[in-house]
Amino acid sequence: MAPSSGPVRAPEEGGAAGTRIRAARKEAGLTQQGLSVAVQVSRQTIIAMETGDYAPSVYLALKVAKALNTSVERLWGEEVPVPTPA
């Protein structure tokens, strides 16, 4: 059986990781092109991460987090609901 040839989809529904990546990039004052240069990938790769069409390797995720001065967990980690006080 041949592997699929489509994009590698991120596991999260609704693009939550992509939204966090975009927000962190803007907070860092970087354009998509600026981030792509910083982590040595194409701008299209950054776009794909932000739209949820690409799940990066661990190595690339670490580079992105470092370039955005944040952690991999903050960008790609699961959001745990905050319990409401009783």
51 membership: H or E segment, kind and range: helix 43-51
- What is the rounded average pLDDT of the residues 34-57? 95
Q: Where are the beta strands (DSSP E) in 1-86?
A: none
What's the pTM value of the predicted model, to 2 decimals? 0.75
Q: Are 61 and 46 in contact (CB under 8 A)?
A: no
Residue whose token pair is 């990039």: 25
At 61-86, the pLDDT tens digits run 999 999 999 999 999 987 655 566 76
Which residue bears the tokens 């960008």? 75
DSSP designation for 69: T
Residue pair 21/75 in contact by the 8 Å Cβ criterion = yes
